[in-house]
């Protein structure tokens, strides 16, 4: 099997981002975004997805975190798309549930080549740490769009904002870990169309 790795860089007047992703890693990460809570989320995403992930971002955080969070999502999504290559033999779709104390999140993904995001997580706070809560949806929208996959994220229930986002990122890690796996029984691309 060929290596399923990608390194993506994106430099704009607002951000300078580099993301390196290995789909067949061991959960190692080195994440430095300038937003400590996002670092925490991406670190646990790598650990529970069993991906190797390096993220560097220098952004205009003096304005706010929007440009950094969105551009990191763009780079991570693009890295998934590139690392998956022609998608020969992948499982393609999967789901992940994750409980964290009072919280339960569900994430379902289809690596279909058709980008779409459903994000249902009503959170009452405006910030967790230094991360604006509304940017979590923007992050996943950028990932799904640039990875070209269908992603449904639902908070089934929960109260604590930290628990909610940790459950979402861990459920996403689990779903993507399963969907990106290669099944030796799958011949070619997992689609009756013959392409994804």
CA 52 to chain centre: 13
**Pairwise pLDDT comparison (69 vs 191), residue with the higher score:** 69
Question: Looking at the predicted structure, is the pLDDT value of residue 21 above 80?
Answer: yes
Question: Looking at the predicted structure, is the pLDDT value of residue 190 above 90?
Answer: no
Helix, strand or coil for residue 147? helix
First to last CA, the chain: 19
Question: Looking at the predicted structure, is the pLDDT value of residue 154 above 90?
Answer: yes
DSSP letter for 79, please.
H
Question: Looking at the predicted structure, is the pLDDT value of residue 22 above 90?
Answer: yes
Output the CA angle 66-178-19, nearest 5 degrees: 35
CATH numeric code, 5-180: 3.30.230.40
The CA–CA distances, whole Å, from 96 to 89, 172, 176, 194 equal: 20, 6, 8, 26
Residue 191: what pLDDT? Answer: 75
Count CB neighbours of 158 within 10 A: 22
Give pLDDT tens digits for 44-86. 999 999 999 999 999 999 999 999 999 999 999 999 999 999 9
Give pLDDT tens digits for 121-142. 989 889 999 999 999 999 999 9
């Amino acid at each position: 099997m060929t290596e399923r790795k990608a390194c993506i860089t994106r430099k704009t007047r607002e951000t300078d981002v580099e993301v390196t992703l290995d789909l067949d890693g061991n959960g190692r990460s080195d994440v430095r975004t300038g937003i400590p809570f996002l670092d925490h989320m991406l670190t646990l995403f790598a650990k529970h997805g069993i991906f190797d992930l390096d993220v560097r971002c220098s952004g205009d955080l003096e304005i706010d975190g929007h440009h950094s969070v969105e551009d990191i999502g763009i780079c991570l999504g693009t890295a998934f798309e590139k690392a998956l290559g022609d998608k020969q033999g992948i499982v393609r779709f999967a789901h992940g549930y994750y409980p964290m104390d009072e919280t339960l999140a569900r994430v379902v993904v289809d690596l279909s080549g058709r980008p779409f995001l459903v994000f249902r997580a009503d959170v009452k706070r405006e910030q967790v740490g230094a991360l604006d809560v509304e940017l979590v949806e923007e992050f996943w929208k950028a990932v799904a769009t640039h990875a070209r996959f269908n992603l449904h994220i639902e908070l089934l229930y929960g109260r604590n904002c930290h628990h909610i986002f940790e459950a979402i990122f861990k459920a996403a890690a689990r779903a993507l870990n399963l969907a990106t796996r290669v099944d030796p029984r799958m011949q070619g691309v997992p689609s009756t169309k013959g392409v994804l």
